[in-house]
Each structure stands twice: as C-alpha cells, then as structure tokens.
Amino acid sequence: MGADDAMVHEPLTPQSLGLLADRIHREWTSRRRIFDLPTSRFFDVSAGPDLTAEFLGREIATPLGPAAGPHTQLAQNLVLGWLGGGRLFELKTVQVLDELDIPRPCIDVAGVGYNIEWSQELQIPRSLEEYVKGRFLIELLTAWGELDPFLGDPGAHVFDLSVGYDLAGIASPGVAAFIDSIADASTVIDRLRPELLGGPFAHLADIELDPCIADTVTLSTFHGCPPDEIEKITKHLMTRHGLDVIVKLNPTLLGFGQVRALLDALGYGDLRIRPEDFAADLRFERGLELIGGLSEFATEAGRRFGIKLTNTLVVENDRGVLPSDTMYLSGEPLHVLAMTLLDQLHISAPGMLRVGGHDGPVQVSWSAGIDKENLADAVGLGIVPATVCSDLLRPGGYGRLAPMLTTLGRTIDESGGSSLREFVDFRSAEAFNDGARDSLAVYTAQLHDPVTGARYRADATTGPLREVDHDLEMWGCVACNLCVTVCPNDAVMKLPSPESLGHRWEYVVLSELCNDCGNCNTFCPERGDPARIKPRLFTSPHRFEADTGQAFLIGMADGVPSITARTGWESETATLAETLGGPDGLPIATERPEAVIDEARRHARRAD
C-alpha cells in the first residue's frame, strides 16, 4: 500500500499531541474551556463522598467512565471523559481488521440507541498512539496546576483495553504487538515528547509517565466471536500477555424467548429480533460453565477475572435510518435485559459474582443504559465500573458525566454514608431488612414493574426531537449548540460570529475528526446535516484533496488564517477568514502544510 493510500483510507485523522496540547492552552486562556467542555461540567473528585472503587485490583477514583465506542477512540475524547469525572475507560475495541468500511450514518440515538459501528476506525499503530496521547494529556493536565480549582485531586484512573473478535486475530502479529506495546509504551512516549517542545507545555515535556498504559483487557465477544473460542482467548490474554481479563457478554445469553418476552412487556413489540442471531451466540448454561472455569483458571494463573454486562443487542433494522439490515440496540431497554441476565447468572451461580452485597470472586462490570437516574442504583449493587455510551451521545455529551457523579454523591450523602463502599453495604442491608434476597433482586424487580420501571418502557423513550422549520445554512442557525455537545470527537466547534454576519455564534467542522457518524444531524433542530453544511475545515492537504464537496484547507499561524477553498466555494473565504481570525477565533495553530505532509509520511511509513 502506498503512503498516501494508507493515509486516505482511514475516516479519521487524529490531531498530533503537540497540536492538541496547544489547543488546550489556547482554549483555556481564551474561553476557560477544554475541547469545548466548560468548567461547570468538570468533576471535582475530591469534593463529595469517597467514590473510590476497585477494578481488577486497581484503584479508580470514581466507578464511572465511557464504554468502548466513539468516546474512547481519539485522544481528546479520553481527556473529555476524564474532565467529566470518568476514571475507567474501556478503550475502543482493537481488532486485526483495521481498514473497515463502515456505512454512514452509523449512530441513531434519537430514542433508545442504535448503531452499526464495529471496532476501531484507525490502523492499529494509530489506535496505540491515540491511547498513549490520551494518557499523556491527562498527565499533563494533572501536573499543570491550572485545573486544580476545578478538579481537586483527580485520583486514579485506568485505561482498559478492548480486543476482539477471534483467537487468530488477537494472536496475529499486529494485535499482539499492540497489546505488548500498550503494556510498555516507552518507545511511543519517547517519540511523542518532542512534540511538546516549543509549545505551552514545553516545561512538562519531560514529565514522568508510567509506560504501562494498560494491562487489563475487556474481551468483546461480539461481531461473530466464536463462542467456543472465548475460553481460549481469555486464557491466551492471561498467559501470553499477562493481562487481567473481563469477558463482555451479550444479551443473547438470555435466549430468544426471554428477550422477546421482556421487549414485549416493555412495549418494544415492533422491535424485531431473529432466532438465528441467538443460535450463533454463547448459551446460558455454557456461559455459566465458562465463568466458573475461567475464574478458577485466573486464580491458578495469578490473574484476575470478571464479566461485563453487556454489549448491544443485535436486532433487525426496519427504521430506515442506518444503512444496514442489522443494527445494535443500546440504552434503556438494554438496561433491563442486562439486569435480568445478571440476576439470573447470580441465581444460577450463587456466591460467584461480586454483586448485591456478595463478595464473590468474579467482578461485574457494566455497560447497559447507564444514565444520571440509575447510576447510583447500578453501582449500589457493587457493580464496578458502570460505563456509558448511549447517554453520552445525547445533548450535553461528555457534560452529562459530572451530573451523574454529583447525583451519585448526593444519593450516598442521603443514605448517611461517606463512601461508595458504605453505600453498597447500605443498599444490601436495606434489601435484607425488607426481607428481599438481596439488593440485586430488589432492583431487578423494580425494573420489571410497569410503574417503577416506567422510564425504560417504549412510550417513555421515543418522544419527538425538537424541530425548527428552517433549512440549515452555512452561516447562522438557531445556535442551540447541540452539534457541539453530541459529537463524541469534538469535531464541531462554536466560534463568535463576526460583526458582518450579525449572528451570535458560527459553527465549523474540523473535518479530519468527523467520521460522519450522523449524530449531529439527528439532533440538529434545523433541516440539514451540520457535518456537511457548516464550513468543513481541513488542515491536511491529503485529506482535502481526497474529499469531495464543500471544504476549506486552512492554515492558522498567530491567529491569522490562510484559506484555500474548494472550487465553487471561494465566495465564502472572506467570511470564514473573519470567523476564524476573530478575537476568540479558532484556537488551533495548525501545523504548516509541510509539517502536516511530514506527519502523514511518518504515519504511513509505520503503517507499511
């Protein structure tokens, strides 16, 4: 593959560490935001009750974080999750097929969640670099001091790898090298350090960084992962790589009949599931056997083992929004399915799972419909961590994390406790005093009850989105800011409108960070796709040339933009220059085109 082909295939072009660090500094000094997140949405871990939890023997300062998905792919996404209070990051799944062509749009969270995404959309060495950059930036921000009044002592966090989907792929040289390199990322760290020189964080370029970025992994048993191989893969990850392992289970474990009955009871009767999708997946009895066997294996191997509930539910696509026959359900109904599954696993293997106040050997991690309303209920069961995907794709985006944690803190306060650990005990004692089996039984029953579980029902999750009777235009709009917050990659940026336009805000798209997932289009109240209609900025000449349609190649030096418009769009150049070059204009000093080209070649050489 030629150098430029390697570059152009990927739908995302991450920004360099130097550029991201520079943007952090510019944004902070000009508008007290980082990657568009205002300080009111930063979470101060040290301010409320002690939320410390344990993940596979490692401490995490809160039990919350982003699930494997769009929020854990790029370095700035990881920083945003951390600023919001996330302390466990299930990194975007890495697998051997690293040149996927995912149809667009791929996300539809207008009601409950649907997506057709797969795993990483970067070549494996680039994913490695993003995760290292994310850690690097978090350490820089911790050491910086400027954020102390807003973050307090941020405490510990963990990056947890996610890999899939079969043994051959996971044992392939590319994925094996990725796992080894992230466990000791010294080479990548040393390569990245010089990017900070000459910039605002130059004084921290030598910062001490633990070269082990991740030594735990969550195995995604999705996308055709052969059920018989789950055991072999887990053992391989423990013995060949010395990792502690979580196996991420699928809701299909409940069996077709039970999933159908639960969906019907919740009012999702028109949601179509197919028996053949269940037939291909792991069965409940075999799942139980696996959990017991792998837990014993881990103990003998001196490793830790846990399970995660759950990945998405595979359903037939009849909504006509996403371009695929099959799509994957997440959000509210998944919460009920996954909790029912957890309850049944717990009943069938008493004493095995660390949940509901029981101190079993198998840790339970979570990703299914977590939001502000149910985080306390979930982690009150002893589930650690609760990770989130769908809720962060809704308006507010990463800004939804801090209110979740604040609500959790308040619930702990109200219980009379001073820590998450005490809260788990409190919820257990409460259930016991009420004569229930345990807190898990109480919570599962609440979810199944049409009154206490009303918010998970179809009639509560499918309300209409806000609409304005107006076609979206390049300049000016209702300025609701939704396109900024719902973008997991922070690819849409709000800038003050120049006087000549007379609006309040303008919105521009950092196209290299936009993979056309469709989420801003879903939430924009006007008619039209913001990712296509708002000025699409490119800093890489390669990407600019490879793209078609409305686009501007920009350079920014000392706040002065240089702009090359795509033929036919030249008339917009003056307005764009005014917008980008205003007093609070684009907080990005793009690399000079030559530097961008060098960067491209450097990456492509590695990819070859």
Listing DSSP states for 146-165 in one string gives TTHHHHSS----EEEEEE-S
> Is the CB of 162 or the CB of 439 nearer to ligand FMN?
162
Q: What is the longest distance spanned by two Cα atoms in the chain?
A: 73
Measure the CA angle with vertex 462, ends 458 and 466; round to 5°: 165
Which of 14, 65, 69, 169 is in the footprint of ligand FMN by CB under 6 A?
69
**CB-CB contact of 239 with 301 (8 Å):** yes
Q: Is the separation of the CB atoms in 571 and 478 below 8 Å?
A: no
- Rule CB under 6 A: say whether 162 interacts with ligand FMN: yes
514 — phi, psi (to 5°)? -105, 125
Contact mark string toward ligand FMN, 27..66, x via CB under 6 A: ----------------------------------------
The residue (of 175 and 204) whose beta carbon lies closer to ligand FMN is: 175
Which one among 108, 117, 244, 506 touches ligand FMN, defined by CB under 6 A?
117
CB closer to ligand FMN out of 116 and 362: 116
Alpha-carbon torsion, ordered 505, 510, 515, 520, to 10 deg: 0
* CB nearer to ligand FMN: pick between 161 and 600: 161
The separation between the first and the last C-alpha atoms of the chain, rounded to the nearest angstrom, is 7
Binding mask 289-328 for ligand FMN (x = CB under 6 A): ----------------------xx----------------
For helices 593-607 and 124-144, give the axis angle rounded to 10 degrees: 130
Q: Does the footprint of ligand FMN cover residue 95 (CB under 6 A)?
A: no
Q: How far is the CB of 167 from ligand FMN (least distance, A)?
A: 17
Segment near ligand FMN (CB under 6 A), from 81-89, 109-117, 150-158, 596-604? 109-117
Q: Specify the residue, 6 or 219, whose C-beta has the smaller distance to ligand FMN.
A: 219
Residue 13 interacts with ligand FMN (CB under 6 A)? no
Cα–Cα distance, 309 to 296 (Å, whole number): 20
In whole angstroms, how close is the CB of 487 to ligand FMN at the nearest point? 12
Site for ligand FMN (CB under 6 A): which residue of 20, 107, 408, 533? 107
The H helix count followed by the E strand count for the chain is: 24, 21
Q: Which tokens is 87 given?
A: 């302390």
Give the span between the Cα atoms of 336 and 447, in whole angstroms: 6
Task: Pick one of 363, 367, 522, 579: the residue that binds ligand FMN (CB under 6 A).
Answer: 367
If the CB atoms of residues 373 and 473 are measured against ligand FMN, the closer one turns out to be 373
* 154 makes contact with ligand FMN (CB under 6 A): no
Minimum distance, C-beta of residue 179 to ligand FMN, in the bound complex (Å): 16
- Cβ closest to ligand FMN, residue 220 vs residue 540: 220
Q: Which is nearer to ligand FMN, 105 or 585 (CB)?
A: 105
Q: Binder to ligand FMN among 225, 389, 404, 447 (CB under 6 A)?
A: 389
Q: Of the two residues 154 and 333, which places its CB atom closer to ligand FMN in the complex?
A: 333
What three-state secondary structure class fits 562?
strand
Residue 495: its H or E element: strand 492-496
Neighbouring residues of 350: CB distance < 8 A, sequence distance ≥ 6: 358
Handedness of CA 132, 61, 92, 484 (dihedral sign): negative
Dist CA 364 CA 309 (whole Å): 7
β pairing state of 363-366 and 305-309:
parallel
Q: How far is the CB of 577 from ligand FMN (least distance, A)?
A: 35
196, 225, 388, 420: residue in contact with ligand FMN (rule CB under 6 A): 388
Q: Does 370 interact with ligand FMN (rule: CB under 6 A)?
A: yes
| Main-chain dihedrals φ then ψ at residue 117, nearest 5 degrees | -75, 160
Q: Please list the alpha-helical segments (H only) found in 152-255.
A: 167-170, 173-183, 186-192, 229-239
Asked if 123 interacts with ligand FMN (CB under 6 A), we say no
Mark residues 323-362: x for contact with ligand FMN by CB under 6 A, - for none: -------xx--x----------------------------
Q: Please report the sign of the dihedral spanned by the C-alpha atoms of residue 160, residue 165, residue 166, residue 168.
A: negative
Nearer to ligand FMN, 339 or 556 (CB): 339
Contacting ligand FMN (CB under 6 A), which of 37, 68, 138, 336? 68
Smallest gap from Cβ 107 to ligand FMN, in A, equals: 5
Our finding on whether 369 is near ligand FMN (CB under 6 A) is yes
Q: Which is nearer to ligand FMN, 368 or 513 (CB)?
A: 368
In 222-347, at which residue ranges do the beta strands (DSSP E only) sit?
Answer: 244-249, 305-309, 313-316, 326-330
Helix (H, G, I), strand (E, B) or coil at 473: coil
d(CA 598, CA 605): 11
Residue with structure tokens 């929004």? 321
Taking CB under 6 A as the criterion, the residue among 18, 49, 63, 70 binding ligand FMN is: 70
Pairing of the two strands 326-330 and 492-496: unpaired
Q: What are phi and psi of 241, to 5 degrees?
A: -110, -5
Per CB under 6 A, the list member of 62, 76, 115, 439 interacting with ligand FMN is 115
Q: Which is nearer to ligand FMN, 68 or 509 (CB)?
A: 68
Nearest distance from C-beta of residue 348 to ligand FMN, angstroms: 22
* x/- map, 199-238, ligand FMN, by CB under 6 A: ---------------------x-x----------------
Sign of CA dihedral 102, 94, 65, 78: negative
Instruction: Kindly state the number of chain residues that form the binding site for ligand FMN, as judged by CB under 6 A.
Output: 28
Helix (H, G, I), strand (E, B) or coil at 297: helix
- Could you tell me the smallest distance in angstroms from the CB atom of residue 138 to ligand FMN? 20
Q: How far is the CB of 276 from ligand FMN (least distance, A)?
A: 21
Q: Which residues contact 545 (CB under 8 A, 6 or more apart)?
A: none
The C-alpha atoms of residue 205 and residue 148 are separated, in whole angstroms, by 20
Q: Decide if 483 contacts 395 (C-beta within 8 A).
A: no
Is 353 within 8 Å of 345 (Cβ atoms)?
yes
- Residues near ligand FMN (CB under 6 A) are 67-70, 92-93, 107, 113, 115, 117, 119, 162, 220, 222, 248, 311-312, 330-331, 334, 367-370, 388-391
